[in-house]
Structure 1
């Protein structure tokens, strides 16, 4: 940019630092944007550039022409379509979002942990500590650009996360939408007068005022595979029309106020993942045995204890591989251990009410897959 430009106004220096931060240390981005800004000598021009980069880096002409096509080489070099799809999935999260805690990536994609590692080594994701990864702003723009058929079909991927929405965004053609992320907004109700007939993924995490998903809306998304409702603390029920979501494989209701599961949930024959972690108002999951495809289930910190009736239902889930469950030391531990196949599924164990009877720690050795243990009096 040069000293002449920077010395014209202190405001330009401040804005130049912000623009450089948006480049996140990517040499290619710094070089291209630096050349584009070399002729900009007013604060207004720099403010405009910063606003464009903040809103959507792909709208910055030199990024679209020079950076995104160059970065796409890294995407193409991944080779494997499943890996490429996993990479695009990461763009559904908000800008600068730390993604490590999101099981969705690891569960929707086989070998999800390995995939994230490959994306890190390809410099398409960046590690933050030992537990989280983030996607660089410009890399995220490249992912959204690819997902929208290089800008030709922007409604393929609708990502309006953490932008202050209070309702469903306006979309010209709902039939074109394949994946949508509306997480971290202030939406109170999800309705849709049009059929979202091609939608396969819907992220609604952390809409803390969300109270209602209408039955009409659920009927319109019959091809939906992934529905994430994590941390919607005001959500206390789901409509019975969920039974019509026949393609659903992943449902995350953790940290919601769900009081009971709709009977219609039992009709979801393709459901493989159900997260009910920290559903503290949910006391029963009767009928869970009808979800014959279920592979992953978490009941930790819910009111649904591993009592006799629940354990009998869980024993009928022959495809179950990963179980996180809440039990009492006196009764349920012995019953689980009486079924070695079920015991081998337990990866997380919350033991409560053990103060009345000493807990035999040695009995936990029989849980060969156990990775996490919680004890509560």
Structure 2
């Protein structure tokens, strides 16, 4: 009975379950059409909900918010669901047609059941998905990249510059700071230190961004780097235009107080095009960048431009010690001294100090250090690491120069010795005559191009200023230029440079062949007896040797030589006749030589453009018609030459006429535009003043030995509008230099600054001269020296100033406004410089010696100006009377008895 009962119950359950299944299956099929409608309605609702969420997300992303991950997952699931349901709905109409009319039985029961089941399930899944698609927010603010700490080595000597920059960053009105300097000087290290300082204490900034801007940068590349930092960079964003990306970047950064570091700029970055808001007082943001070019600082509109300088001697030695290590420095008693010599060869450039220091870290014998010194002096590129690590970095500056002309001009500097101070004008004259400057036919106009090139090289930090008229080249830059000029240039363009090597004779003739430019200056060469073959030679520097003899054949095979410098060979008494073989010669410098006469065969040098005979005291003979034969001569200098008359015979009217005959020949030169001349008599001056051209091109004028003249009428000099330097000497009877009424009537009608170019005046041994009041008409005077004038009582006479003012009708309140140097010596009667205390805004140096009656200096000071150095005897200084103690405190006294001047 029990078993029967059990079987009965089991059968009932089975039948029940089967019946439920049949009913459920029937339900799927019977409700298929109804579910079809519900599914379509739910699909429409899901699509609408998806579109709403997408629109909300799009609006948030337009505000540069970032969509939430859960929203993105839901949207992806919604898209998948919609696609699946759309496919499913396509099959429902066909399946409903298979169902028997008015019943729930299908002609194909299995397929109808399966479809009905899928529809029912999708309805449930869609209802669940729609419930999950309700969001309080769909996006949030972009995550900001953390501030990146930059890895840096320990640095030396940047502390003061770091403090300066950090201080500027605290100033509200300084938004953009440019750091410029030579490659390898430590600009990136300095910028990294500033960055790390910000990262350690952000001081109220929202974001700090560091970017390396490559030489071939584009706006798009910079935008992508910034986007990575501020969380914008995704596939969708990358598809936008540059303008679109700029708008997005601007929207993010405009809401933030940011610091942006741009390292290694080579040209202007257009911040607006990138989308970077300009730092301003209102937004408080900052931009700091590094560059090798000062011009980039200007183009980036930097409010502060800071040059990162090379290290001083002490700092250089400290850095070098760190890289070499004490163990090596102490390994031999001589090494530390030798190591200091090696460090000095680096010129304070940190990259060179580090590279060479590491290379020498294991060198523990003195010979290795001595060898290093010689290699660095003669061919630094052969030193381990210099070419690969130092020159390879610096050469980017050379390659980035805008023209071949500028590159050639830069290489020209390597003809000079290390640390040599180079006169800008002389250098430009070499360039012009060598053919490097081809924009103008006139030397005077070519100077403009030359000065512009020098200024560009200074701004590129490839040269250093060494005073107003001089430049120098850093030792390591010079080494790089030599490496380029002697090793990398085409064979026919190469240099041969051996300067300051104590050579007793010229290099073997085989080394001359193929050379374009050669410099053997600052050696001890006595004789030039060979005949080198130099078809390509354009420039030859033989100055500052001990030359005595140049053979007749020496110049024979130099057909293309254009520039020849023989200056400062004091023992060189004559030129060989063979110099006439230099048919292409345009520039000949004989200044400071012992030349006694010029050979008549120089007439064959018809291309002469520049002849320098300055300080040739032994020169007594210039053949007649020689100078006038140089028909295209543009520059002639003869100040300090001993010549009086062109036939060399000191007779006849020479004592009265001085060098008047030579001046007559100069008057024939129609292309002359730059002249430095010494005039040795009143008669010669009268001859000179008859030529408007000579007056117009005179830049330096020396008036010497005028025994018959009591008055020099400055009117006679007024037409020399280019006169820069005036030297009046040994005019024993001259009592006055004055401006006449005629001058006022004639000259002042044209201009109120007749001596506008006059910058330097030197007056000596004019024993009756009492003042130089006329200098009130020299507004740009920078240097005044008055020596050995025993009757001089005043520099500026108040009485004569008033008289002149009445004659001319124009007051001159800004006397000495640009004066930098004032030297007064051996003036026993001098009591006054001028009656009124003047500000002397540019004055830096005063020297007073044996002017016992000068008790006051007419100085009034702006409290902000720098100190003036005053040199004189201690006793004179103690007796000086001061109306204003501020003036005394603004002076730095140097006791002349210490031999410092």
Same fold (TM over 0.5): yes
Question: Are 1:372 and 2:372 counterparts?
Answer: no
Shift of 1:56: 2.3
Deviation of 1:43 (Å): 4.3
| Paired residues for 1:98-177 under 5 Å | 98-100=421-423, 103-109=426-432, 110-111=446-447, 112-150=450-488, 153=491, 156-177=494-515
Query: Is the CA contact (8 Å cut-off) linking 2:424 and 2:471 kept in structure 1?
Result: no
Q: Which residue number corresponds to residue 361 of structure 1?
A: 714
Matched residue SS, 1:357: coil
**Does the Cα contact within 8 Å between 1:86 and 1:105 map onto a contact in 2?**
no
Distance in 2 separating the partners of 1:369 and 1:203:
30
CA RMSD of aligned residues (A): 2.4
Query: Is the CA contact 1:207–1:232 (under 8 Å) kept in the aligned structure 2?
Result: yes
2:643 is the counterpart of 1:291: no
Q: What is the rounded CA distance, in whole Å, between the counterparts of 1:154 and 1:58 in structure 2? A: 21
Q: Structure 1 residues 360 and 48 mapped into 2: Cα distance closer, same or farther (>3 Å)? A: same
Partner of 1:301: 640
Aligned pairs (5 A) from 1:7-46 = 7-9=330-332, 11-46=334-369
Q: TM-score, normalised by structure 1?
A: 0.91
Contact 2:492 2:536 in 1 (8 A): no
Distance in 2, Cα, partners of 1:49 & 1:139: 18
Q: 1:362 to 1:223 in 2, by over 3 A?
A: same
SS in structure 2 at match of 1:323? strand
CA offsets 1:342-361 (integer angstroms, 9 cap, x no match): 21011111112223212223
Q: CA distance change for structure 1 residues 307 and 283 in 2, over 3 Å: closer, same or farther?
A: same
| Contact 1:106–1:113, Cα closer than 8 Å, also in 2 | no
Higher relative contact order structure (alpha carbons within 8 Å, sequence separation ≥ 6) = 1
**Would you say 1:274 and 2:611 are equivalent positions?**
yes
Distance in 2 (alpha carbons) for counterparts of 1:122 and 1:191:
43
State the distance in 2 between where 1:301 and 1:368 align: 22
The correspondence for 1:62, drawn from 367, 385, 388, is 385
What secondary structure, in the 3-state scheme, does the structure 2 residue paired with 1:17 have? helix
Contact 1:108 1:250 in 2 (8 A): no
Q: Displacement of 1:339 after TM fit?
A: 1.8
Kindly state the Cα deviation for residue 177 of structure 1 after the two structures are TM-superposed. 1.6
2:509, 2:532 within 8 Å by CA — same for their partners in 1?
no
Supply the distance in 1 between the matched residues of 2:596 and 2:420 (Cα, whole angstroms).
Answer: 30
Deviation per residue, 1:128-164 (Å, 9 max, x gap) = 3444322222211111111124288599311111111
> Would the aligned equivalents of 1:247 and 1:268 in 2 still touch at CA under 8 Å?
yes
Cα separation, partners in 2 of 1:267 and 1:193, compared to 1, 3 Å: closer
Unaligned runs of at least 5 residues, structure 2: 1-322, 433-445, 645-657, 731-901
Task: Report the more deviating stretch, 125-134 or 88-97.
Answer: 125-134
Distance 1:20 1:153 in 2: 33
After superposition, what is the alpha-carbon deviation per residue over 1:285-317, rounded to whole angstroms, capped at 9, x for unaligned? 332111011100011111234744322211211
Q: Paired residue for 1:251?
A: 588
Relative to structure 2, which stretch is displaced further, 365-374 or 278-287?
278-287
- Contact (CA 8 Å) 1:199, 1:221: kept in 2 or not? yes
CA contact (8 A) 1:308 1:332 kept: yes
What residue in structure 1 maps to residue 141 of structure 2? none
Cα distance between partner residues in 1 of 2:426 and 2:690: 30
C-alpha distance 303-43 of structure 1, shift in aligned 2 (>3 A): closer
Distance 1:47 1:243 in 2: 45
* Selected match of 2:397 from 64, 70, 74: 74
- Is residue 182 from structure 1 mapped to residue 520 from structure 2 by the alignment? yes
- Mean CA deviation greater in 108-117 or 350-359: 108-117
2:104 counterpart residue number: none
Contact 1:155 1:173 in 2 (8 A): no
Q: Deviations over 1:157-197 (max 9, x none)?
A: 11111111111112535321221111111211112244222
Question: Bigger radius of gyration, 1 or 2?
Answer: 2
Distance 2:489 2:430 in 1: 29
The answer as to whether partners of 2:582 and 2:605 remain within 8 angstroms in 1 is yes
Q: Structure 2: how far apart are the matches of 1:353 and 1:6?
A: 63
